[in-house]
Structure 1
């Protein structure tokens, strides 16, 4: 009986306390609402009516009336940055940092936000310093990623490599572009005018080590092809023909679709060893499995020189039947017309030439000029991220600065 009486007393007390707490919270909420400036509600109304410019003006007025509105300052700073108004964004975040009473968490956030402002404004030196200031905070990882982008844009490859290592010490995440950072250092060391073979060896070893650490899941064919091609270039500069040939042949195994970018170098290496015919046979066999325009045009020219016109045109007819291509025909005719002894005069058929025997009565010069007008726009590489087109192949897109976004194929081959 005592237990039941206890509950009869306790339950009403609990309900009474809850009612009092609710009344207190409601009154406090109403009081805070009444204290909000009218500009705050005007700003909300403008946002709902899709009038962002007027909304920003209203919120700026709120921030002036009540400097304690920290979250509103952060929101305004982000809005200004997204709209490209970098001076206003920087001023907002600087005003937060100037407050002596700003909580530590908000101060760190303001420091990170102003670093982003500097980065978007192109003030890279200030951005670098600001991102370094938050390395001991919860923003350390995104700040380090931003620092990597800064060093990359400045082509400061040693700092970029060091930043990647610092990032990997914070978070176990792959950074595939570190291989290209090492390759950029190799490119600098292999300057033909003053090659630094010791520095090149060190960077090559580092690049190959980075490939091994990335593993099969993250080491791209592009990166493997680039490292092998640079090892071949170093061997070429040192007069090591066999090592150069072996490095280029390795691309056929690790990155077979990229051999077209280095096919001419491969044949030159075989030629220096007195084995050009073997190189042509190897490349022809590879072409059967990985046909590309680059390999086609190089093979046609070499077969024409080694085996004659008929064998070259027989190869071309078979290849173009399997992979129809206006660009392929254009490049083939270009090779024919480079030989002055077989150029045809408009309106005159040179029946004695081997080319005329194969293409009876054709004016190759006229035919090529007609085709070339339609193939110029197709004879380009295209970035798969931003669509930037270029006559030359790039490991890093000049348009969007993304790595490995160019396929080793021309536009016509991508369709």
Structure 2
């Protein structure tokens, strides 16, 4: 490329423009720094020295002197909330709301942040009041979602359902837990004294409608379907309709096989009332062959031991445990045998046991195994890891729905 004389003019001009721009930026920065109130720097200093209460006082003074610093308050309040310092977060946001000159948009923002503070602090009534004031604002969707959480924690299922309906009017998105809200209503109606079957019918119909809506959006409905069927079976039992009870319990085996462990005992009992316990046993055995689970195994062994004798039960246990080794399963088997021996006031020696056991001391064997299986005999939440001996549809730890797999911890490892 040939040298052009005009470059001698152009290059110095570029350097001059850059120098002027830099000077302007520096002057502007210095000017802005001089205009910041001294309280701003005092607040920063207090924060660095881990004196949050004095920092809050300083930043409140900044907001009074310079209304443009509201974003600083929002950032500070969020920081305190994330650190779990709820009293300080509440104080920051309340100081914003106390300002008469705060623009409406920022007032709504401050109210939303304050509601979050109250919610995390467990002050549900005050959180509810804050979010209710936001229902006709741009924060309506997060406010309704927060109200749903509040009503859930208070077990106020009717208000939770109403809040879900309001949410669906704002956004077209499924709410998976809606079916469980209706199931909670149905369960309360069926366990009331006296039972209220009409209310249960209404709630279960609504739950089925919620499941259909969730299925249309591609959601997983197996758990909700199983729970509805179980509640329908309970309703049929209260009405002494044994045939309908068996129909609903059998539908769980077909449509929600993972949840068979929750209805295995009830299904056998229903067939026993019908005078055909062998049919119930056959159904469970067929199901176990294709969907093995520890709880179904335990129910089958106990029933086989009672109905067909020790040898048949132990043949089943031997085969099942060889295919699906389980210390907890062996613990359950030994527990049944010990219970039988105690009921008959018979000693647990090798002469009264299956050939496999020889002269083993069943009591000692069971106590050793049981010590190691107690921690395995639990359900575990997939979200927070909270473990419980009882199956919950909603985790007591994190309040998530359907996060407990109906299998024991040992089966998940």
Tell me the TM-score normalised to structure 2 length.
0.88
Q: Tell me, yes or no, if the aligned pair for 1:118 and 1:127 is still in contact at 8 Å.
A: yes
Counterpart among 49, 53, 75 of residue 50 in structure 2: 53
Cα distance in 1 for partners of 2:291, 2:319 equals 15
Shift >4 Å, 4+ stretches: 19-29, 41-47, 54-60, 341-344
Cα distance in 2 for partners of 1:333, 1:42 equals 71
Residue-by-residue CA offset, 1:32-91 (whole Å, 9 max, x unaligned): 2211135545766888xxx48358855742431442222222222222222333233222
Cα distance in 2 for partners of 1:121, 1:283 equals 48
Taking a change above 3 Å as real, the CA distance of residues 293 and 343 of structure 1, as seen in their structure-2 partners, is farther
Q: Report whether the alignment pairs 1:333 with 2:331.
A: no
Partner of 2:7: none
Q: Tell me, yes or no, if the aligned pair for 2:208 and 2:228 is still in contact at 8 Å.
A: yes
Partner of 1:403: 401
Taking a change above 3 Å as real, the CA distance of residues 345 and 199 of structure 1, as seen in their structure-2 partners, is same
Taking a change above 3 Å as real, the CA distance of residues 30 and 290 of structure 1, as seen in their structure-2 partners, is same
Q: Tell me, yes or no, if the aligned pair for 1:39 and 1:62 is still in contact at 8 Å.
A: yes
Q: Which is further off, 123-132 or 65-74?
A: 65-74
Q: Tell me, yes or no, if the aligned pair for 1:336 and 1:342 is still in contact at 8 Å.
A: no
Partner of 1:374: 372
Cα distance in 2 for partners of 1:126, 1:295 equals 47
Q: Tell me, yes or no, if the aligned pair for 2:53 and 2:88 is still in contact at 8 Å.
A: no
- Secondary structure of the residue aligned to 2:115 is helix
Q: Report whether the alignment pairs 1:93 with 2:93.
A: yes
Q: Report whether the alignment pairs 1:393 with 2:391.
A: yes
Cα distance in 1 for partners of 2:197, 2:148 equals 27
Taking a change above 3 Å as real, the CA distance of residues 169 and 52 of structure 1, as seen in their structure-2 partners, is farther
- Secondary structure of the residue aligned to 2:272 is helix
Cα distance in 2 for partners of 1:125, 1:394 equals 26
Q: Tell me, yes or no, if the aligned pair for 1:63 and 1:72 is still in contact at 8 Å.
A: no
Residue-by-residue CA offset, 1:192-236 (whole Å, 9 max, x unaligned): 631000000000100011101111621432111111100000000
Q: Tell me, yes or no, if the aligned pair for 2:46 and 2:54 is still in contact at 8 Å.
A: no
Q: Counterparts of 1:39-50 in structure 2 under 5 Å?
A: 40-41=40-41
Q: Tell me, yes or no, if the aligned pair for 2:176 and 2:219 is still in contact at 8 Å.
A: yes
Pairwise CA distance, 1:322: 0.4
Cα distance in 2 for partners of 1:99, 1:113 equals 15
Cα distance in 2 for partners of 1:45, 1:59 equals 11
Q: Tell me, yes or no, if the aligned pair for 2:301 and 2:333 is still in contact at 8 Å.
A: yes
Residue-by-residue CA offset, 1:267-318 (whole Å, 9 max, x unaligned): 1111111121011111001001111111001001111222221111111111
Residue-by-residue CA offset, 1:150-203 (whole Å, 9 max, x unaligned): 000010000000101110110111110111111110111011631000000000
Cα distance in 1 for partners of 2:375, 2:24 equals 73
Q: Tell me, yes or no, if the aligned pair for 2:151 and 2:157 is still in contact at 8 Å.
A: yes
Pairwise CA distance, 1:28: 5.1
Q: Report how many aligned residue pairs link the two structures.
A: 391
Q: Tell me, yes or no, if the aligned pair for 1:233 and 1:244 is still in contact at 8 Å.
A: yes
- Secondary structure of the residue aligned to 1:377 is helix
Partner of 1:142: 142
Gaps of 5+ in 2: 1-18
- Secondary structure of the residue aligned to 1:64 is helix
Q: Counterparts of 1:339-354 in structure 2 under 5 Å?
A: 339=340, 340=342, 345=347, 349=349, 351=351, 353=352
Pairwise CA distance, 1:261: 1.0
Q: Tell me, yes or no, if the aligned pair for 2:288 and 2:296 is still in contact at 8 Å.
A: yes
Taking a change above 3 Å as real, the CA distance of residues 276 and 390 of structure 1, as seen in their structure-2 partners, is same
Tell me the TM-score normalised to structure 1 length.
0.87
Pairwise CA distance, 1:98: 2.2
- Secondary structure of the residue aligned to 1:147 is helix
Pairwise CA distance, 1:100: 2.1
Cα distance in 2 for partners of 1:315, 1:33 equals 82
Q: CA RMSD in A?
A: 2.5
Q: Tell me, yes or no, if the aligned pair for 1:80 and 1:88 is still in contact at 8 Å.
A: yes
Partner of 1:161: 161
